[in-house]
Chain A
Amino acid sequence: MKRALFIAALLCLSGGGIVWAQMAATPKADTPEAAKETREKIFNAETFTLENGLQIVVIPNHRAPVITHMVWYKVGAADEVTGKSGIAHFLEHLMFKGSNGLAPGEFSKKIRAMGGEDNAFTGHDYTSYHQSVSVDHLEDVMKMEAGRMRGLNPPLDHVDSERLVILEERRQRTDNDPRARFAEQMNALLYVNHPYSKPVIGWASEMASLSWDDCKTFYDKWYAPNNAILIVAGDVTGQQVFDLAKKIYGPLPKGDVPERMRPVSPPLAGVPEVTLEDEVIREPMVQIVYRTPGSRQNKEETLALQALEEIMSGGPTSRIYKNLVVDQKIATGAGLSYQSAALDDSELWIYATPAPGKDIKAVKTALQDQIRDVIKNGVTATELKEAITRMQADAIYARDSLTGPAMVFGYALTTGSSIDDVEYWTYDIAKVTAKQIQDVAKKYLDPDAVLEHAAVTGYLLPKASAPPAAEPAKEAAP
């Protein structure tokens, strides 16, 4: 029940896997007056762009003689063509299956043989490949990563066996787990006409028919230096990385990369609800997910929503936990989470687990009442000040990591934020006013104006329970 750091500094990436797009809340800021900048940066990153369009970000960190090397492509599951869900993620797996000078599987083996770690992950808006090695291997990993930026060539039998692997991955992460199926279903309803409605891993029926040709088309279209960001964190200087990158990534040709054209989600004409009943569920849960602005769409509003999240759910004395769990005791757990790092609409979730015997719809109302309170009465100056102090402290903790800061820049730069947005986030978040917080709550989350914003309500229930639309169940838990 303790607070989590705002920057997802410790991401647990499983083998060749995916990290869901909403894992990190990315800082965001404005355009500074470069001429006389006196503000203190969080990470002191250096940046440079090669002639072929590859953007480079270097985050010096001399604590240990190691580096993290990442390439982020500005493409993800939301850029797939309809009917081919899962290509972005399947391609991510195939990137380990053979490229210029490397046999299938050799990439990761070489990294292990250097004493390093490597992995990759896919989101709706980005695909990221990363290695952590001792600093003397930086040039080696650059050569390997550059070799698969344009030169992927997996043998077809490896494509076939890897397709089985991603289907196993889906079974493990989603099909075996009613909670994951529940979240997947809520997302599918929230984003009408927008590809965020698709699971990143893909729908099983479409995954089974993905071909190498599908992946190759996607690869040729999107994987190019001018659609990528190279991030190096660790025991290096900017100059060192720029010189090496120029030599190794510099010769790669620019690609003819299209604009990322995304459809727009229309307003919802009704109020969608998902009820998932499963006999294995012993603990019910209620969630509401709202479509909210992402970091590219409206910077001030995303900052206000970040501050709202901290006030509502930043720890065990924050509003939602204190009211529902400590004071009213109608829930055993409850909170709010907001993920601003999205190229298009972002998501804000509120959720609660009803205490035994408590009616799940009453718990939902209590959650909504927390929003109503902000809309009606706002937040106090003290609450806001404390929240800002905590968020600024989180930025210091974020520096106590090698990979964390690189992740923060990757999320930010692939979803429309800038380097300065990250570096000066502590100043920008401090400018958020109580009025702005009240306004975004009213504009995006108002429980009494349901058709003015998009939201989906979900109930996860034990099989035997009465559906929430009928008479309230007396016993919510067995």
Chain B
Amino acid sequence: MKKLLLIMCVMVVPVNAWAKDKLLDIQPVTSPGGIKAWLVEDHNVPVIALEFGFKGAGALLEPTDKQGLSRMLSNTMDEGAGDLESQVFQKELQDLSIGLSFGSTRDDFTGSVKTLTRNKARAFELLQLALTKPRFDAEPVERMRAANLSRIRSSMSEPDWIAARILNDLAFTGHPYAQNSGGTLTTLASITPDDLRAFHKNNLGKNNLFVSVAGDITKEELATLLDQVFGALPTVKLPAVPKTTSLQNENTVNVYKKDIPQTIVEMLQPGIDRKDTDYQVAQVMNFILGSSGFGSRLTEEIREKRGLTYGIYSYFMDMEYFDGLEVSTSTENKNAGEIIAMTKAEWEKMKDAPVTADELKDAKTYLTGSLPLSLTSTDAIAGLLLSLQMDDLPLDYLDQREKIINATTEADVQRVAKKILQEDKMTVVLVGTPEGVKDFKAIDKVPNVE
């Protein structure tokens, strides 16, 4: 396997020459004030992408009656900061073509800045303001509330959104993950600017911060910048949350009846932790099973041979306190029972016999060789660096990963398939008018939305 030098600094070849034996030349940077970041320098395009995350500060911290709070925070932190009111702040971002935004997942609170080099000084000042002095004025808070309520009402007509909502509710019953991270019509209405201030102050700290940067900036410059942008953040102590959770309502089929021509199918079973020594082997197994689209067993059997669907994929769900393996597809109502049975049959085949040498070879080549394709923009590189750090993975993870994948055998794949795949533990959700499905539970109402 040829080693790939991902990032080439054309102007400064000697500096980077030593990096030829690594996939990605990641430089760890520590500021004088002690803030750490990972950097990939790349001076090809005059653009800088900075991404950051506050670990554990996501939707799982929300009280039940304030679901949607972290998402509302992500919508309002860039709506005015310091002396700059919402429209003034946004106008400056727009005039300087600075992309600044925040986001939240169930686990974490995140943010990013993308700027042209020529506007970097102001871009990072505006980020610093948004992070440390957000205004939460009544006008933008109301406007973002209205936009979120509108988003929910719009989503309520989308069958795939309905399926995801129901699955989430059933799979994590009793854990904060079951909550609606987008908020409900009721909870969003009750969120106040003070709620936003408290969530911001209590959960976004220097001590749960991770930063990654890619693009047209040097290590020295970044070190100084880290203190300017993040130095004023407090130290926070996050509230305790229920740590692990197991899949709930397993081995059930749940049907939300809807008068549409095609049934949406979601199937979830337990997965594997990213730090498990078998995680990479599991990726190889799942590539062959269903993550790769064309060439995967699910796509070949169900789409290519029988034309039962436009798309079927299986993928791992990596969350802090839950690991899952999910299958998503859709099919004309009359085929719903068949597509579930066929998926489960592929589960059994994967456990019953080893994969072929060709399947294994192709999976290895793809999983190792395709990485550079996803690293062709500064924000994609910064995004990868951030996810590695937030998952507590080492600097040389990408190189380690490649070694493990290349060492995987047919017997490894079968062993891991037997360890992971459990067709009798699936929580299944169907939205549509499915036929051929026995022993299902009817869901009358989309839970936790109104």
A positions within 8 Å CB-CB of B: 1-3, 9, 14-17, 61-66, 96, 104-105, 108-109, 112-117, 132-134, 136, 158, 160-169, 171-172, 175-179, 278, 280-283, 314-318, 322, 325-326, 329, 332-333, 353, 355-356, 386, 389-390, 393-394, 396-397, 399-403, 477
Contacts and interface: CB of A to CB of B under 8 A. Distances in A.
A161 B332 contact: no
A317 B78 CA distance: 13
A168 B309 contact: yes
Contact of A165 (B147, B260, B303): B303
Given A64-B6, A399-B45, A117 B150 contact: no
A385 to B, nearest CB: 10
A162 B66 CA distance: 47
A396 B45 contact: yes
B44 A326 contact: no
A63 B7 contact: yes
A477 B292 contact: no
B354 interface: no
11 contacts: A15-B310, A17-B310, A105-B300, A115-B367, A163-B307, A168-B330, A283-B154, A314-B94, A315-B93, A325-B143, A393-B116
B300 A63 contact: no
B372 interface: yes
B257 to A, nearest CB: 12
A401 B377 contact: yes
A198 to B, nearest CB: 20
A63 B44 contact: yes
A1 B147 CA distance: 9
B149 interface: yes
B157 A115 contact: no
Interface residues of B, number: 76
Contacts of A394: 97
A136 B93 CA distance: 41
A112 B294 contact: yes
Contact of A62 (B8, B91, B95): B8
B365 A176 contact: no
Task: Identify whether the interface residues of B are mostly helix, strand, loop, or mixed.
Answer: mixed
B244 interface: no
B375 A64 contact: yes
A316 B90 contact: yes
Interface string B153-166: 11011110000000
Given A63-B8, A315-B90, A15 B369 contact: no
A115 B97 contact: no
A326 B114 CA distance: 25
Given A115-B366, A169-B310, A63 B376 contact: yes
Q: Which of A326, A389, A393 has the most CB of B within 10 A?
A: A393
B331 interface: yes
B95 A332 contact: no
A17 B311 CA distance: 10
B308 interface: yes
A411 B249 CA distance: 48
Contact of B372 (A65, A169, A389, A477): A65
Interface in B351-401: 361-362, 365-370, 372-373, 375-379
Nearest to B287: A112
A318 B94 CA distance: 9
Contact of B262 (A132, A168, A329): A168
B99 interface: yes
Nearest to A478: B153
B304 interface: yes
Contact of A176 (B114, B262, B378): B262
